[in-house]
Amino acid sequence: MIWAATLAGAAVLTGCSGQDKEADGQVVNLYTARHYDSDQALYDRFTKETGIKINRIEGKADEMVARMKSEGANSPADLFITADAGALWRAQQAGLFQPIQSATLNERIPANLREPGGNWYGFTRRARVVAYDAAKVKPEEIDDYAKLATPRFKGKICVRSSDSVYNLSLVGALIESWGPEKTGEWAKGIVANMARAPEGGDRDQIRAVGAGVCEVAITNSYYYIRLASGDDAKDRQVTEKVKLAFPTLGGKGAHVNISGGGIAKNAPNKDNAVKLLEFFASADSQKHISANNNEFPASPDVAAPPPVDAYANFVANPMNVAAFAARQPEAQSLMSAAGWR
Ligand code: FE
């Protein structure tokens, strides 16, 4: 009996380690806040090239972070990807990433688009910029973020609420560049210039410019490009009247954010996760993602595909994405103090 039990136990153990080994070579658990149908083609190509199957778990960024937190050390998460450096920084603050070193990632991704400690890496870029009514606004009136807060735009600005991570990252970048005092004044100026209380997403702000509710809107670049090149004729019409401008921050170019990812703290399939992240950072993947969701490739060496190529030739502020991402709490309290809802 004892002998049989020991043998059975040994068999189970052997079985377990065999399974683990097999799983190590075949699987990666991807937690993703991205939700594009076009991503499936990318995942299929990765599996075809490497033999590694992708288990995808989807949800909003904050939901994914909460889930990984509650799963703790037992989390099956290998790789977490999401939009906005601010969201990646929150995951890092929650202790959900482990830093990695990858010569491949360092070569494929510019240094300012990755977290300096190796906790997370961007693979595409988006700019947070300005859509404007070309009949009412001259480009030189919006060539600097500072100008948006001047009396010229009293009652003329549409922008979403201050709980948007996009706005927190932008204001974080302003703090990083200008310091908190000037940025606090800027936020007050923006609130004074609002055409209406913040409502809706970035696309709604662009459409509001089209409808004459405001003259300028703060928006992520890909929303504008999506309206300009999408299937909706009314939205395309809006972008004939409303144009996209890339203001400068401290004279050094437009505020740039990323979509990216990091390796989970307790990744059971870490090597596969690194391979998948390196795959997302490849020139082909950057192009694929760019073509499908209208972000820009992260690497300046990767040519932007249509339709984003028409907008890709802007000056990007070289600030490190982790520098502004870490200023979210400051940005939040500064915007609250300004009365930015
Ligand atoms: Fe978005």
pLDDT digits over 93-117, tens only? 999 999 999 999 999 999 999 999 9
pLDDT digits over 67-91, tens only? 999 999 999 999 999 999 999 999 9
Dist. CA 20 → ligand 1 center (Å):
37
Q: What number of residues does the chain have?
A: 341
Residue 9 pLDDT > 70, yes or no? no
Dist. CA 199 → ligand 1 center (Å):
15
pLDDT digits over 226-270, tens only? 999 999 999 999 999 999 999 999 999 999 999 999 999 999 999
Please indicate whether the domains covering 2-125+257-311 and 127-254+323-337 agree at the CATH topology level. yes
Residue 140 pLDDT > 90, yes or no? yes
The per-residue pLDDT of the chain, averaged, comes to 93
**Fold classified for 127-254+323-337:** D-Maltodextrin-Binding Protein; domain 2 (3.40.190)
Integer Cα distance of 109 and 101 in angstroms? 13
Dist. CA 160 → ligand 1 center (Å):
12
- What is residue 55's predicted lDDT score, i.e. its pLDDT? 96
Q: What is the CA radius of gyration of the chain?
A: 22
Residues 6+ apart with CB under 8 A from 154: 192, 193
- What is residue 25's predicted lDDT score, i.e. its pLDDT? 56
Integer Cα distance of 42 and 32 in angstroms? 14
54-60 mean pLDDT: 95
* Phi and psi torsions of 153, nearest 5°: -105, 25
pLDDT digits over 186-225, tens only? 999 999 999 999 999 999 999 999 999 999 999 999 999 9
Integer Cα distance of 314 and 80 in angstroms? 29
For 291, the token pair is 């073509």
Dist. CA 169 → ligand 1 center (Å):
13
Dist. CA 268 → ligand 1 center (Å):
30
27-50 mean pLDDT: 92
Instruction: Output the CA–CA distances (angstroms, integers) from residue 198 to 4, 103, 262, 333, in the order listed.
Output: 71, 43, 32, 17
- What is residue 36's predicted lDDT score, i.e. its pLDDT? 78
SS3 helix, strand, coil % of the chain, rounded to 5? 50, 15, 30
Dist. CA 202 → ligand 1 center (Å):
8
Torsion over CA: 197, 148, 315, 163 (sign): negative
Dist. CA 51 → ligand 1 center (Å):
31
**CATH, domain range 2-125+257-311:** 3.40.190.10
Question: In the chain, what percentage of residues exceed pLDDT 90?
Answer: 90
For 9, the token pair is 């136990």
Residue 17 pLDDT > 50, yes or no? no
Which pTM does this prediction carry? 0.92
Dist. CA 124 → ligand 1 center (Å):
13
Residue 47 pLDDT > 70, yes or no? yes
* Contact of 261 with 325, CB cutoff 8 Å: no
Dist. CA 223 → ligand 1 center (Å):
7
Domain ranges of the chain: 2-125+257-311, 127-254+323-337
Dist. CA 129 → ligand 1 center (Å):
13
Dist. CA 205 → ligand 1 center (Å):
13
Helix (H, G, I), strand (E, B) or coil at 265: coil
121-129 mean pLDDT: 98
Where do the H-state alpha helices sit in the chain? 2-24, 39-50, 61-71, 85-93, 103-108, 165-178, 180-193, 202-210, 221-229, 233-241, 270-280, 283-293, 321-325, 328-338
